[in-house]
Amino acid sequence: MNAQGLGKGVRIGALALLVSSLAACGTATVVRPGGGAAASTPKTSVPKPGQTVVVRKGDTIYALARIHDITPADLIAWNRLDNPSQIYPGQVIRLYPQGAGSGRAPTTVVTAPRPATGTGSSATPAPSATPATPVKSSIAWRWPADGAVVGRYVAGDATKQGVDIAGSSGAPVRAAANGVVVYSGAGLVGYGELIIIKHNDQWLSAYGHNRKRLVNEGQNVKAGEQIAEMGRTGANRDMLHFEIRYNGKPVDPQQYLPAR
């Protein structure tokens, strides 16, 4: 992300955790804080193959474990959480062991960018990275907004993991491909009003700095469908910050979007 759209010194949590089987989980299950959290901690887990939960503000791994009748230890192990005390809004937690019921290989954590410690030229440059050959995608990507590209992806730079598209307040922001909304909120610092769409087991896209979100978590969207209104939440100008991620890693959106 362009450094101007990031908060200073604040670690941003995970964008999403891709589920093992899209067929088994067409939409993400959203659990709000409260409601059942007071139940006793289960002694044995009851796995829920294909089901996930999107972390909301105020959630803890222990409360989610109680709500879903899973031991905290299993929930931590199934999601490979290095620090279970640090989960973040927008993170997707699996409610079953990796590979269970799907016959597929374990999936990958999708990590959000870490904000820079400064803005503009004062930010510490990230080490350069050797450009990798673009991964082929069967998805027919389309531009999510009209406007000039004012910020570009830079491989290896944690502050530039997508493109910034300039525009005017209220301009339409559209889904770049068919998919399901796995996050719609403002809980990820530096992104403002943010929408995340999962397109399949490997690919997702993120849309930040919106003025208004028009879709909800779990909602299916079509390519070209308006999902938000452009704005400047978390930024100093009206623009859309757009990311494409493959197996959790950011890729250059301009290598997949059509030429224009």
Q: For residue 6, is pLDDT > 70?
A: no
Average pLDDT over residues 229-251: 93
pLDDT on residue 99: 59
Look at strands 52-54 and 92-94 and give their pairing: antiparallel
Buried b (16+ CB within 10 A) or exposed e, 226-258: ebbbbbbbbbeebbbbbbbbbebebbbbeebbe
Helices (H), the chain: 61-67, 72-78
Residue in the block written with tokens 């222990």: 62
Between residues 201 and 256, which one has the greater pLDDT? 256
Residue that wins the pLDDT comparison between 50 and 39: 50
List CB contacts of 22: < 8 A, sequence separation 6 or more: 198, 200, 201
For 148-173, the pLDDT digits (tens) are 999 999 998 878 999 999 999 999 99
- DSSP label at residue 72: H
Query: pLDDT band for position 82 (50/70/90)?
Result: confident
Positive or negative torsion for Cα 31, 32, 34, 35: negative
Say how far apart CA 113 and CA 6 lie, in whole Å. 9
d(CA 27, CA 23): 9
CB 48 within 8 A of CB 64: no
Averaged pLDDT for residues 103-111 = 35
Domains of the chain: 19-107 (3.10.350.10), 139-255 (2.70.70.10)
Q: Are residues 35 and 226 in contact, defined by beta-carbon separation less than 8 angstroms?
A: no
* Rounded CA separation 228/210 (Å): 6
Residue 41 banded pLDDT, cuts 50, 70, 90: low
Q: What is the mean pLDDT of residues 125-133?
A: 48
> What percent of the chain is helix, strand and coil (3-state, nearest 5)?
10, 25, 65
Q: Distances in Å between the alpha carbon of 183 and those of 54, 75, 94, 130?
A: 7, 20, 15, 31
Query: One-letter amino acid identity for 1?
Result: M
CB atoms under 10 Å from CB of 38, counted, come to 9
Give Cβ neighbours of residue 207 (< 8 Å, ≥ 6 apart): 144, 173, 194, 195, 196, 197, 227, 228, 240, 241, 242
- Element containing residue 239 per DSSP (H, E): strand 239-246
Question: How large is the average pLDDT for residues 50-66?
Answer: 83
Question: Any bridge partners for residue 151, and if so which?
Answer: 164
